[in-house]
Structure 1
Amino acid sequence: MAFLVLLLLLNFVFNAINAQSTSTIIKPGSFLSPINNSYLLSHSGQFAFGFYRYKNGYSVGIWFENIRQKTIVWTANRDASPFPSDVTLVLTTEGTLIVRPKQGQDVLIADTSSDNVSRLATSASMLDSGNFVLLNSSGGIVWKSFDFPTDTILPGQRLAVTGKLVSSVAESDHGSGKFLILMRSDGNLVQYPVGAVLERGAAYWATNTFNAGYGVSLNLDGNGHLYLLNDTGFNIKSINTNYVNASGKSMYRATIDTDGIFRLYSHSSNRFDDWYTEWSSSNYRCDPLGLCSENSYCVMMDGEPVCQCPPHFDFINEKRKELGCRKNYSLVACDTRNG
């Protein structure tokens, strides 16, 4: 019994030390590093901002910290190479948030440098909303991650006119992927393959609110309601039409996933639970145009989208079938001789 009490006491001390070693704010002169003091926690501990392991190094981002699945919701410079372990993240006296390597050039994360002192960041903080902010000397927000989303929006965050979310390459690769969702200036929220926004017929899902006018934004509230507001603050469309303010969940996020489908997820207060899909833009996972690349097509097998090649074509890469197919001229020649 005494041994058990000792273990519980040691665990309490360890957790207390760990909590003390994780800051809640960055000021000029303080820093984060991948190895020591690697992230900031929000006040409740729900969100973290800082370095996370990525590929063969580290990236800077925001994630859900107090659940088993440390879900990434924002990444700075998402298409850049991972950082090595000897870098530091610092807020300079000039109001810039940078990653500083031991050798080479600084990498900019956020910039508030200005001749106007009221616009100059003097501290940075991770809020319980999941919004990482830079603050001036009066505590006013002068920069926020909510203005620069990657593939996800959180409750209280909005996707304004011309704003977009871009899918990740893969679950383990947070670089820009193949699909996006765009808040168009005509009021229509539309999903496209990346690079095909201007192509006629390229959209594969939309809210059909193209007559709503300029100023429409996509919003998610704390009860899991996904909706469009016009510039007067009027709700013009509930996107998850079966929304019921009774799911009993405590966390929500809306993400355009790697497969090109926009989904609303919820999570209970039990940290060991999984994310639950409340709504999705399509229930047919072959809908996203461009899911399978050149000379290939999508079919559903056992509930999963699978890319296939037509006759006389082979996969460019058998391990990455989404890259598409190319013609196998030896098969074509063989069929010609046999014909």
Structure 2
Amino acid sequence: MTILLWLLILFAIHAVALAQQRQFNITHGSSLTPIISSSWFSPSRHFAFGFYEKTNGYAVGISIVGMPKKTAVWTANRSSPVVPSNAVLLLTSDGRLIVQVGSQEISVINPSRAIASASMLDMGNFVLYDSDRNVIWQSFDNPTNTLLPGQHISAGQELFSSASEADDSFGIFRLEMQHDGNLVQYPVACRLRNLTRGGYRRERTIIYMMKIDADGILRVYSHSLNQQNSSVIWSSTDDRCIPKGLCGHNGFCTNIDDQAKCLRLPGFDFVMPGNWSAGCERNFPTETCQLKENYDMRTVENTVSEDSTYVVLGGTTKEDCEQPCLQDCNCEAALFKDRECRKQRLPLRYGRRDLGNSNLALVKASPDSSFTEESSTDAGRDSRYSTAS
């Protein structure tokens, strides 16, 4: 009787194991919809592949579950990731993974061979197999903006930030593993710790991930599935103005109340108010530049930018730096520091406020143009770069 009981228990365990295998083995004809049965889960149900909600529709990707809001770690079709609520994600009988929207078919993943089955693994890796159970594609080899523990980035591969917290299409920052072994963030260089060796302990209730955020800062997040919250445990910088390109051309970044703000230079207006990365443009014509009385030089203190010097004047005063720029049609601004005057052409790139730097930016402007730094702050406010800290 005891042996029979153990046999029954073992049979039940085996049946459950087989049922779980069938449940997590995605085969031909398997489908998902955004509203009902929206995801294929990993065995632990910590990760899911399928639809996750965005403000203007749904995207297809891999997300961490068990949080108040699904946290995406991989996104498909980032050039146009959002689909409507009537979309269907389908593994077709001929081995394609597609999204159907009415009569339209959108390819999700394009492996080299037909897909026989797929699995969402507990590491957060979504894997596609051929009929011989060979791996023909996996998300760990094709990262988007996030790396999970155990995942690597190969030489020549890149991570692209999202456009914003609400938009997972391509943003303006990228991280590349160069063939020389350097991990470089363009246009800012950044070395990183190895997250897979001696880094953070792995626990069943905590998921770590490294992500290049929409504001250009690289962060390591800790997601607690028990407490259903997340926190930043490491970041490449605490200065939100360090990532270059945030403010576009002819603007400069400053930290106000621990938030990055983009300001316009004197004589400039935002190209697209509300979109900082579009930069700024002149708000007056410059056809009569040979008449120096048509212009003033405005001073912006403690401001640095990419050096685009074409003439250097040494042993000057601030006034001696302003006059040669006013008389030079090619000079749009000058950088003055330590009695050295460096003439600049437009565009002025990667400007930022650095209170520890005595550099003065002397900018050519119309006498009629009014400018205060306070008035420029709200005009350029951009919600795309709000990031949890």
- Identify the residue that residue 36 of structure 2 maps to in structure 1: 36
Choose which of 140, 143, 167 in structure 2 pairs with 1:149: 143
| Letter paired with 1:204 | V
Larger radius of gyration: 2
Structure 1 residue 186 corresponds to structure 2 residue 170: no
Cα distance in 1 for partners of 2:54, 2:233 equals 28
Instruction: Give distance in 2, aligned partners of 1:63 and 1:246.
Output: 18
In the aligned structure 1, how far is the partner of 2:99 from the partner of 2:228?
Answer: 33
CA 1:112–1:271 in 2, change beyond 3 Å: closer, same or farther? Answer: same
User: What does 1:23-172 align with in structure 2 at a 5 Å threshold?
Assistant: 24-80=24-80, 82-104=82-104, 106-112=105-111, 114=113, 120-172=114-166
Unaligned residue ranges in structure 2 (runs of 5+): 1-19, 286-364, 371-389
2:288 aligned partner: none
| Matched AA of 1:60 | V
> In 2, distance between residues paired with 1:335 and 1:140?
66
Residue aligned with 1:334, SS: coil
Question: What is the 5 A alignment of 1:220-299?
Answer: 220-221=195-196, 225=199, 245=201, 250-273=206-229, 275-299=230-254
Q: Is there any run of 5+ residues in structure 1 with no aligned partner, and where?
A: 1-19, 115-119, 193-202, 209-217, 226-243
Q: Distance in 2 between matches of 1:279 and 1:39?
A: 30
Work out the CA distance in 2 between the residues paired with 1:62 and 1:81: 13
CA distance change for structure 1 residues 283 and 268 in 2, over 3 Å: closer, same or farther? same
Distance 1:56 1:247, change over 3 A: closer
Cα-to-partner distance string for 1:199-231 (whole Å, 9 max, x where unaligned): xxxx422339xxxxxxxxx853287x2xxxxxx
- Aligned counterpart for 2:190 among listed residues 191, 197, 206: 206
Q: Which piece of structure 1 moves more, 63-72 or 288-297?
A: 63-72
Separation of aligned partners in 2, 1:245 and 1:30: 36
- The amino acid that maps onto 1:284 is D
Mapped to 1, the partners of 2:80 and 2:59 lie a distance apart of: 9
Cα gap change, 1:127 to 1:284, in 2 (>3 Å): same
Matched, 1:173 2:167: yes
Q: Is the 8 A contact 2:81 2:169 kept in 1?
A: no
Q: Name 2:301's counterpart in structure 1.
A: none
The answer to whether the Cα contact below 8 Å between 1:181 and 1:256 also exists between their aligned partners in 2 is yes
Shift of 1:70: 1.5
Letter in 1 for 2:40: L
Find runs of 4+ consecutive structure 1 residues off by over 6 angstroms: 246-249
**1:251-303 CA distance string (max 9 Å, x none):** 10000011111111112342422x22222112211111111111100111111
Superposition deviation, residue 81 in structure 1: 5.2
TM, length-normalised to structure 2: 0.64
Q: 1:55 to 1:268 in 2, by over 3 A?
A: closer
Cα deviation code 1:68-119 (max 9, x no counterpart)? 2421111100121522222221112332211122213x211123464xxxxx
Q: Secondary structure at the match of 1:181?
A: strand
Distance 2:368 2:143 in 1: 52
Further displaced range: 134-143 or 177-186: 134-143
Letter of the 2:103 partner, please give it: Q
Aligned residues: 270
Whether the 8 Å contact between 1:95 and 1:113 is mirrored in structure 2 is: no
Work out whether residues 296 and 324 of structure 1, in 8 Å CA contact, stay in contact via their aligned partners in 2: yes
AA in 2 matched with 1:159? I
Root-mean-square deviation (CA), in Å?
2.7
Question: Is the counterpart of residue 334 in structure 1 residue 368 in structure 2?
Answer: yes
Question: Which 10-residue stretch deviates more, 71-80 or 55-64?
Answer: 55-64
Q: Does the C-alpha gap of structure 1 residues 164 and 112 become closer, same or farther in structure 2, counting only changes over 3 Å?
A: closer
Q: Is 2:258 aligned against 1:303? A: yes
In structure 2, relative to structure 1, the CA distance for the partners of 1:247 and 1:93 (3 Å cut) is: closer
Percent of residue pairs identical: 41
